[in-house]
Every structure is written in structure tokens, then in C-alpha cells.
Amino acid sequence: MSLVCEHIDVRLGERVVLTDLNFAVDSGEFVAIIGANGAGKSTALKSMARLLTPERGRILLDEHELSHYDRHSLGRKLAYLPQDRTVHWGLSVERVVALGRLPHQSLASGLGDADKRAIAEAMVRMDVSHLAQRSVARLSGGERARVLFARALAQ
């Protein structure tokens, strides 16, 4: 999988937040985006997840513009984990992680064996299996962060 940003400009209201962002990452690479508060790191990530629309430039995922993908197809290719860890649902940890599998299901289907494996593996990787039946609302901030990361991994 590859993700490429070419000459991205993003404006939030009257404020230009990103100017001429160029970025490329290939499958298997790990990348850190660093910068001062307000520098546009979150805006860049939101643009890459198609939560914001750049004013200029293009973002390619596997050589196709993001607009090429419907929401379900895009959700099968990438997950966005915001820095805000607020959870407004009283769901169990296991159900929150299972939400990551929604892009892989049709409306009529339930969780298949592959979904259940992906959920279990994500929970093991993030060391939250022992919390499976606890309400996510009753977790510490660190535990909640691991659960939300597990949801992204399951996706």
C-alpha cells in the first residue's frame, strides 16, 4: 500500500493551515509527523483520511485519488485514530474494537470468522483482552487509548 500527498493546501475558514505539503509513505514504512502545536499535523492526517478536503493538490492511496474510494472501500484500506480519546458510548471494550470491522461487512452480515480473528488479534496486540467485557467508559485514559488503537488495528 502507498500513500502520497502532492502539493496539498488546506484552509480552515480564513486560516491557511497547510501549504504545499508533499509526503509519501510505502507499505511497511513507519513515519513520524512532528511539529509545533498548530503546525497542521492533525489537519494533514484528517486530509489523508478524507475527513477534510484540500483546497489544492491531491492525495493518492495505492495510486488512486481518495475521491475514487467510497467510504466503505476507504475504511477497508485505512483507519484514522484521532488524538482525542473521548468515547461517548457505553459499549464494552470488545464491541468498540468490533466497530473497526464495520467497513468489512455488508448490512445483512454479522461478524464472520475472519472478523472475530481480527478483533481477537487486535485485542491481544494491544493487551486489552482481559478488559473485553468492561465498559469503555470505565477505563483509564491509557486503557481507552489502547482500546481505540485496537479498533484501528482490527479495521
Q: Are residues 59 and 98 in the same domain?
A: no
Half-sphere exposure of 145 (CA within 13 A, CB side): 5
For residue 101, give its domain range.
93-154
Which pLDDT tens digit goes with each residue over 19-67?
999 999 998 898 889 999 989 999 999 999 999 999 999 999 999 999 8
If asked whether residues 33 and 97 sit together in one domain, one would say no
Q: Could you give the CA distance from residue 115 to residue 98 in angstroms, rounded to a whole number?
A: 8
Cβ atoms 131, 154 nearer than 8 A: no
| 102-112: pLDDT as tens digits | 888 776 677 88
Contacts of 29 (CB under 8 A, 6+ apart): none
Say if residues 97 and 120 touch (Cβ distance below 8 Å).
Answer: no
CA terminus-to-terminus distance, the chain: 15
Q: Is the pTM of this model over 0.85?
A: no
Pick from 46, 77, 108: which residue ends a domain? 77
Number of separate domains in the chain: 2
Domain assignment of residue 38, yes or no: yes
Mean of the per-residue pLDDT values of the chain: 90
pLDDT at 107: 64
Considering the domain architecture, whether residues 104 and 73 belong to the same structural domain is answered as no
Query: What is the Cα–Cα distance from 113 to 107, expressed in whole angstroms?
Result: 17
